[in-house]
A and B are shown apart, each in its own frame.
Chain A
């Protein structure tokens, strides 16, 4: 009889361990000045250093060190006053030097933690994830295996190598083992990666796009019978390319391991690959025979010795923790979870906050960014923030609030600004979009409507207020929709002795 996930976690206690690789968004590579743009033509962003040509030497990118220290500080780590790079020696064609320059036993950030909150059966609960280390290393190139059925190196006819990615700065964030999550292990893992992604985004140090590989998660998990106090043999799942996959991969892996254990089999310490379609993992390289990387200190680089004063300056620059900020803003704006989540997912929290700071009414600020502006951005397949500035949005909202624009007119103003017709004031001027609020102009239209429908006017004079709708409609039509309907109603009723 096979165990489902519920059964598995009733019998076994999972222990997690997460390794996250983050590509930094520095303009140049870790050890040379080559560009790091994603998607450039193969082998166009290379030089003697990142191609590992004989004689070339690395020089550490100072910006990468700064970003790594920021990450360490945001994760409550200690920053080592002295850390070193080492060489990790192994042969692979996508690694031009046949060693990876990486930090090993002397990483730059150690001993941190991140508190993550998840929803449990008993309500929200906080788990503390302890961070073992944050270190710097360089990425490898990319191999494209051509021919063969699997797309893997075995059975391929030939392989193409692109070294554009070789030498891109990577930061690896490694947790300590995470015990005590019970059946919530997959959610804790997902929440951890989500929160980590939000922090990295708020620090501005990485694009954190899992689908492009700028954020990669390796999920380790082992099982032991509940209450045994033991630590089982772990597997490491790679190729986990989305937040949802983190959760699915772990759920699947916990089920698989539980069923193996039930069947009396042992867990093999191995790397497994997550299969997006099935939600299952398949075995990769076995780690039974640990590879000997022959680490030794990189003699071509001097130790990294950040100044204590500089570290404090960086600490002072740290942005508010995104989780705390989310809670604070949600309270200030008084919005439901679902809307807050939409804002976060659409990466609109910053602009909404800025728009509000510029004086815009909070509800309108959220509605406009999440609604009309996002819709236009979707159409154009660009980011909403690239379409219009917060200053212009705040101006438009101020005009709506003051009654100078209706929502309908405001949409046209936004459209005009997005199309490059100028500032909101210029668009209003050019398109003639201002609400008709001049009473005398409106009165001309109102009198014309009354003249056209004398019977209706008479019924209103007689106290039939709802009949006013027909006349208001006629006035709106005559003014091309530019009149404020409430104002028209007010003037009309007053004129007919009902104001």
Chain B
């Protein structure tokens, strides 16, 4: 029986076998959203009409016997940072309230072309700046495991939607961990592909040299199916890689890691990580060894500077990327009563339209790029970036993939870190180096921490454009864990229908 609790792969085969229609499947998910999203607030906009129209079109094509792509008719949730023609797109900011893009981002266009049914747009930290969705101008998303906790961020809405069965799949973006960290905190799979692996065209830019679009799923295979649907060269994105997409679906199905070398990053283990997190990671490594992999220890001494460098590079690029929000052409306009000049209106609009964290980063970035400070800040940060890349290169000379915890802790309480930016920034300490180097990484749920019963994520990293490697390791480990547990991790989550 195919329902919202099925995997995307199961839904896809049931749809192909005409055991269920795309319209029925879409309705089931819209019903689920209607009944639980009041508690979660994963969605900023639910496009019931558009989703049903898309589902009907897929059903009609299938009835005619047309060849459809593997995920045709499977629903998805899309982070509200991707432009979708005619559908409100806010990036979690008041400054874009009411904006309906006149064009589709490449990823949205690919989803539409593949017949993947877009249910709506998900909540996020404003302009992807944050690790908890608390910076959304439209309210926080709750973690389905515990409504008093955050689902992580910035793609917290997408992660919560998948973890709560509102959608089997979701799209997120990851600039410093914004896919992997919420995936870890909600017990699902999240992947940040190699930079340039998925087009950024139509993705509202936060930090152009670090932003990357990626998939969320409840299984490694589901995530791989979505990955292959959205990946590939795009001539409208100069930084997209013109090379064949790594065969991640085949890798996810391989279930074999014999002879693979797994590198454990010394600097991302031990102290600073919650005991229950470290315990689950060690257990996973034992399972991989049992499956025939070899564990080696690697050192990445420059990772300790990565977080500081990230908070110079990302805000610098953001200060320029966000300059376009000036009230002139779209979005919010404040104070235009006919008596004020363009600059005053722009100033009033930015004052009212940008949140605290966004302003903090614009000011930080503007300062870092200023004449006289550029070399010391932006210049030095770029040097750190090169050093981080070199650390990865030498580590990958010893190992096929690298592993670490995704986050230092399990999901934290809403409000716990919102007044302490540095504490919040530290939740991305293990994910940021991956963005700095441009490589890809996966967050795989590997169990629950003893002390709080909340999900723990293992980060698996691979060299540039070798994304198939983490799908191979992830798929193998997922199968080993499932046979150990006897049931999927999400079946441990409390029932949202009775949770208060």
A: residues with CB less than 8 A from B are 48, 51-60, 87, 89, 91, 93, 96-99, 153, 159, 161, 292, 294-296, 299-302
B2, CB-defined interface residue at 8 Å: no
Q: Give, as a whole number of angstroms, the nearest-CB distance from B89 to chain A.
A: 8
Contact pick for B238, options A51, A56, A57, A153, CB 8 Å: A57
Which residues on A sit within 8 Å (CB–CB) of B101?
48, 53-55
Residue of A nearest to B234 (CB): A57
| CB-based contact B324/A96 at 8 Å | yes
Residue of A nearest to B105 (CB): A55
Minimum-distance CB pairs A-B, first 6: A98-B323, A299-B208, A294-B369, A299-B209, A55-B202, A54-B204
Given A54-B204, A292-B370, A89:B342 Cβ within 8 A = no
Residue of B nearest to A48 (CB): B103
Interface of B is mostly: loop
| CB-based contact B323/A58 at 8 Å | no
8 Å CB interface, B189-207 against A: 200-205, 207
Given A54-B96, A54-B101, A59-B236, A99:B91 Cβ within 8 A = no
| CB-based contact A302/B323 at 8 Å | no
B486, CB-defined interface residue at 8 Å: no
B83, CB-defined interface residue at 8 Å: yes
What are 23 pairs between A and B in contact, CB < 8 Å? A52-B324, A53-B101, A54-B91, A54-B99, A54-B101, A54-B204, A54-B324, A55-B203, A56-B103, A57-B200, A59-B237, A59-B238, A91-B343, A91-B346, A96-B328, A98-B323, A294-B319, A294-B370, A296-B317, A296-B369, A299-B239, A300-B205, A301-B238
Which residues on A sit within 8 Å (CB–CB) of B328?
93, 96, 161
Which residues on A sit within 8 Å (CB–CB) of B91?
54
Contact pick for A51, options B203, B329, B346, B366, CB 8 Å: B329
B450, CB-defined interface residue at 8 Å: no
Q: Give, as a whole number of angstroms, the nearest-CB distance from A105 to chain B.
A: 11
Contact pick for B320, options A51, A53, A87, CB 8 Å: A87
Which residues on A sit within 8 Å (CB–CB) of B200?
57
| CB-based contact A292/B371 at 8 Å | yes
B65, CB-defined interface residue at 8 Å: no
How does the 8 Å CB contact mask read for B71-98 relative to A, with 1 for contact and 0 for none?
Answer: 0000000000011000001010000100
| CB-based contact A57/B201 at 8 Å | yes
B374, CB-defined interface residue at 8 Å: yes
Tell me the complex Cα distance, A93–B101, Å. Answer: 20
Tell me the complex Cα distance, A97–B320, Å. Answer: 8
How does the 8 Å CB contact mask read for B319-337 relative to A, with 1 for contact and 0 for none?
Answer: 1100111101110000000
Given A57-B200, A59-B235, A91:B329 Cβ within 8 A = no
B404, CB-defined interface residue at 8 Å: no
Tell me the complex Cα distance, A96–B317, Å. Answer: 17
B378, CB-defined interface residue at 8 Å: yes
Tell me the complex Cα distance, A391–B324, Å. Answer: 54
Interface of A is mostly: loop
| CB-based contact B378/A53 at 8 Å | no
Given A87-B320, A159-B342, A294-B320, A54:B83 Cβ within 8 A = yes
8 Å CB interface, B220-274 against A: 235-239
Tell me the complex Cα distance, A161–B329, Å. Answer: 10
- With A55-B82, A57-B237, A299-B317 known, 7 other A-B pairs at CB within 8 A are A48-B101, A53-B101, A55-B204, A56-B202, A91-B326, A295-B369, A300-B205
Tell me the complex Cα distance, A199–B18, Å. Answer: 68
Contact pick for A294, options B205, B235, B371, CB 8 Å: B371
Residue of B nearest to A156 (CB): B341
Contact pick for B208, options A159, A292, A300, CB 8 Å: A300
B: residues with CB less than 8 A from A are 82-83, 89, 91, 96, 99, 101-103, 105, 200-205, 207-209, 235-239, 316-317, 319-320, 323-326, 328-330, 342-343, 346, 366, 369-371, 374, 378
Q: Give, as a whole number of angstroms, the nearest-CB distance from B123 to chain A.
A: 17
Which residues on A sit within 8 Å (CB–CB) of B320?
87, 89, 99, 294, 296
| CB-based contact A98/B326 at 8 Å | yes
Which residues on A sit within 8 Å (CB–CB) of B325?
54
| CB-based contact A98/B324 at 8 Å | yes
Q: Give, as a whole number of angstroms, the nearest-CB distance from A285 to chain B.
A: 15
Residue of A nearest to B93 (CB): A54
Q: Give, as a whole number of angstroms, the nearest-CB distance from A33 to chain B.
A: 10
Tell me the complex Cα distance, A475–B370, Å. Answer: 89
Residue of A nearest to B205 (CB): A55
Q: Give, as a whole number of angstroms, the nearest-CB distance from A469 to chain B.
A: 78
Given A54-B83, A96-B324, A89:B369 Cβ within 8 A = yes
Which residues on A sit within 8 Å (CB–CB) of B343?
91
Which residues on B sit within 8 Å (CB–CB) of A97?
323-324
Tell me the complex Cα distance, A57–B204, Å. Answer: 10
Tell me the complex Cα distance, A292–B366, Å. Answer: 10
| CB-based contact B323/A56 at 8 Å | no
| CB-based contact A302/B366 at 8 Å | no
Which residues on B sit within 8 Å (CB–CB) of A60?
238
Which residues on A sit within 8 Å (CB–CB) of B323?
89, 91, 97-99
Which residues on B sit within 8 Å (CB–CB) of A53?
83, 101-103, 329-330
Residue of B nearest to A51 (CB): B329
Which residues on B sit within 8 Å (CB–CB) of A54?
83, 89, 91, 96, 99, 101, 204-205, 324-325, 330
Tell me the complex Cα distance, A60–B325, Å. Answer: 24
Which residues on A sit within 8 Å (CB–CB) of B102?
48, 53
Given A97-B324, A294-B371, A58:B238 Cβ within 8 A = yes
Tell me the complex Cα distance, A301–B239, Å. Answer: 6
Tell me the complex Cα distance, A310–B116, Å. Answer: 44
Which residues on A sit within 8 Å (CB–CB) of B209?
299
| CB-based contact A296/B238 at 8 Å | no
Tell me the complex Cα distance, A426–B335, Å. Answer: 72
Tell me the complex Cα distance, A178–B146, Å. Answer: 72
Q: Give, as a whole number of angstroms, the nearest-CB distance from A299 to chain B.
A: 4
Q: Give, as a whole number of angstroms, the nearest-CB distance from A34 to chain B.
A: 13
The interface centre, meaning the residue of A58, A292, A302 with most chain B CB atoms within 10 A of its CB, is: A292
Tell me the complex Cα distance, A428–B176, Å. Answer: 79
Tell me the complex Cα distance, A89–B320, Å. Answer: 7
Which residues on B sit within 8 Å (CB–CB) of A96?
324, 328-329
Which residues on B sit within 8 Å (CB–CB) of A48?
101-103
Residue of A nearest to B82 (CB): A55
Which residues on B sit within 8 Å (CB–CB) of A294?
319-320, 366, 369-371, 374
Q: Give, as a whole number of angstroms, the nearest-CB distance from A297 to chain B.
A: 9
Which residues on B sit within 8 Å (CB–CB) of A58?
238
| CB-based contact A302/B238 at 8 Å | yes
Tell me the complex Cα distance, A332–B99, Å. Answer: 66
Q: Give, as a whole number of angstroms, the nearest-CB distance from A83 to chain B.
A: 14
Residue of A nearest to B199 (CB): A57
Which residues on A sit within 8 Å (CB–CB) of B82?
55
| CB-based contact B374/A296 at 8 Å | yes
The interface centre, meaning the residue of B102, B324, B325 with most chain A CB atoms within 10 A of its CB, is: B324
Q: Give, as a whole number of angstroms, the nearest-CB distance from B279 to chain A.
A: 40
Tell me the complex Cα distance, A89–B378, Å. Answer: 15
Q: Give, as a whole number of angstroms, the nearest-CB distance from B207 to chain A.
A: 8
